[in-house]
Amino acid sequence: MVDSLPESLDDVHAIAESSIDVTGASVHVVPDDFDCRAVRKGRAQEWARRTLDCHKEFVLYLDEDSIVESFKGLPDADIVQLREKPRRTGSNLSFLADIDRMGGQLEQRAFARLSIPLFAWGGGIAVRSEIEDATTWDRKSLWSRIPRSFGQRSKSTT
85: enclosing H helix or E strand:
none
Q: Is the pLDDT of residue 16 over 90?
A: no
Model confidence band, residue 42 (pLDDT cutoffs 50, 70, 90): confident
pLDDT in tens, 70-88: 778 888 889 887 776 777 7
- Are residues 153 and 51 in contact, defined by beta-carbon separation less than 8 angstroms? no
Does the pLDDT at position 154 exceed 80?
A: no
Rounded to whole angstroms, how far apart are CA atoms 108 and 105? 6
Q: Judge contact between 9 and 60, C-beta under 8 A.
A: yes
Task: Name the H helices within the chain.
Answer: 40-51, 92-102, 129-135
Q: Looking at per-residue confidence, does 1 or 156 come out higher?
A: 1
- Nearest Cα neighbor of 152 from 41, 34, 37, 74 is 41
Neighbours of 8 (CB within 10 A): 12
> In the prediction, which pLDDT does 144 show?
43
Q: Is the pLDDT of residue 156 over 70?
A: no
